[in-house]
Structure 1
Amino acid sequence: MNEEMTIQSLVKVLRKRWFFILMLMVLSIGVAFLISYFIQTPIYEAETQLLVNQKSYENQQLIGAQNVDTDLRLINTYNVIIKSPVILAKVIDVLELNMTPEELMKQIEVSSANNSQVVNIRVQDENEEKAVKIANTIAEVFKEEIPVLMHVDNINILFVAQNSEHPVPVKPNKMLNLIIAAISGFSLAMVLAYFLETIDRTIKTEQDIEEILSLPVIGIVSNIESLTRKKSRVRRST
């Protein structure tokens, strides 16, 4: 019963203050539109892929399933090395970037699927061309350095990041922002409207008397001024 009354009260608030709710939703969507399209900086993403494929070990030859198993165990180590200052510092030197390895690390995401020998390197930047250069340079530097660091040569560049003629930013998600703004605006408007309705104890209609005072309405006093006007109109017509 309480739940039903709550739903009924919300429906009543929605009908009574629909214009207020609509205006607040429009305001929220407008703010989200302004921020998403004119304030937030577009972020682009470039991706390159490495294939971890065993070639040779120092003083040891492994074949078949043993090679694959060894490569899979090394992938977690590679994911850490790729984002280490040893690799990123050389990437910064090659591209002459004005940033520290720690700053560059925040733009990089390294991942690999379970039981997969493919390592994905994703780089995000405000400039799409710069993101592509960073991703490809990381792959090249890592391939060159891994034989020195691990005494193993099992890295091949599987996929090279490329520039797009019409790059699409991955951030911000403008449509998602607008949807979230609409839902948030509606929720906030409903809360405020329900609060205003709760603190408003003025009696405007006979229904308000029944709801607030829990008393039945047995009669209504008509507006005397309106009755006077009606009588005057009748007399003029006769």
Structure 2
Amino acid sequence: MEETISLKELFHTLKKRLTLILSVTILAVMISGIVSYFFLTPIYQTSTQILVNQAKDEQSVYSAGEVQTNLQLINTYNVIIKSAAILELVKEDLKLDMTTVALNQKITVQSEQNSQVVNISVQDEDPKRAADIANTTAEVFQKEIVDIMNVNNVTILAKAEVGENQAPVKPQPLLNIAIALVVGFMAGVGLAFLLEYLDNTIKNEEDIEKTIGLPVLGVIAQMDDTAENGSRSDRKTRLRGETVGS
């Protein structure tokens, strides 16, 4: 029985504070949409691919051991690509006005499991600059790895290109609005229950029973102005009649 009453009170509170909940939810959605579309700077992403292999003669045949060695070297190459030795040269070639740390944060190096292909992805506010950074990084790495590790086993498979009407990878306004919708609704519900918990005013006889722990024996009905004015008119009419009769 208590669970039924609690559930009814729960829905009663939600219904009572429905305007507040909807207002908080709509406000959160509006703020998220305005910030996503008008204040956040679009970020574009381009990527290039390089292949790590062994330099061999045309008649040579790859062995499983050599492929495994290449796979183990990829982790080392991933670190070298984002090293200061490579990025400083990239900055000089492109005349970038940023620190090496900032350039490092724009570059992401990934390789698929058991694959000799390495993806170099770059995110930047300018899609063309992102493509230039990706391509230059791959070219500098291909050139410098010969001196760094005394190997010549890097091939550029695909260069980064800027697509026509390329869409930014972030922000994602629709995703942000969906998250704001959920968060705003939860915040509204939480605020509604908080206000209900802090509200200790007595509004009806049920609140009196809960507060003093005693049953209500009677209730004084509230008389509206129309009924009160009507009763006053009746009393005046009766008084006039008595006066005239006397």
> TM-score, normalised to structure 1's length?
0.86
Over aligned residue pairs, what C-alpha RMSD do you find? 2.6
- The alignment of Structure 1 onto Structure 2 pairs a total of residues equal to 231
What residue in structure 2 maps to residue 111 of structure 1? 110
Partner Cα separation in structure 2 for residue 161 and residue 232 of structure 1: 91
- Among all aligned residue pairs of Structure 1 and Structure 2, give the percentage whose two residues are the same amino acid: 45
- 1:75 — aligned with what? 74
Aligned partner of 1:21 in structure 2 is: 21
Q: Distance in 2 between matches of 1:139 and 1:77?
A: 15
Q: Which one has the largest radius of gyration?
A: 2
Q: Check 1:35–1:46 CA distance in 2 against 1; reply closer, same or farther (3 A cut).
A: same
Work out the CA distance in 2 between the residues paired with 1:112 and 1:140: 18
**CA offsets, 1:1-51, max 9 Å, x none?**
877666544322210010011111111111111211111111111111111
Is 1:128 aligned with 2:91?
A: no
Q: Distance in 2 between matches of 1:2 and 1:13?
A: 16
Cα gap change, 1:121 to 1:10, in 2 (>3 Å): farther
Gaps of 5+ in 2: 235-246
* Partners of 1:145 and 1:2 in 2: CA distance: 75
2: CA distance, partners of 1:2 / 1:145 = 75
Question: In structure 2, the residue corresponding to 1:106 is in which secondary structure?
Answer: helix
Q: Which residue of 1 aligns with 2:241?
A: none
Tell me what 2:44 maps to: 44
Q: 1:50 is paired with a residue of what secondary structure?
A: strand
Deviations 1:168-202 (A, max 9, x none): 11111211211221222122222221111112122
**Residue 206 of structure 1: how far off its partner (Å):** 3.9
Q: CA deviation at 1:73?
A: 0.9
Q: 2:168 aligned with 1:169, yes or no?
A: yes
- Return closer, same or farther for 1:88/1:201 CA change in 2, 3 Å cut-off: same
Check if 1:198 corresponds to 2:190: no
C-alpha contact 1:56 1:152 (8 A) present in aligned 2: no
Q: CA deviation at 1:204?
A: 2.1
Post-superposition shift, 1:134? 0.6
Corresponding residue of 2:34? 34
- Counterpart amino acid of residue 176 in structure 1: L
In 2, the alpha carbon distance for the partners of 1:207 and 1:228 equals: 27
What do the CA deviations read for 1:94-153 (whole angstroms, capped 9, x no partner)?
111111222100111111122111111110001111101111111111111111211111
Q: Secondary structure at the match of 1:123?
A: strand
Question: TM-score by structure 2 length?
Answer: 0.83
Asked if the contact 1:36–1:174 (Cα under 8 Å) also holds between the matched residues in 2, the reply is yes
Q: Alpha carbons of 1:172 and 1:5: their partners in 2 closer, same or farther (altered >3 Å)?
A: farther
SS of 1:122 mapped into structure 2: strand
| Cα distance, 1:220 vs structure 2 | 4.0
Structure 1 unaligned runs (5+)?
none
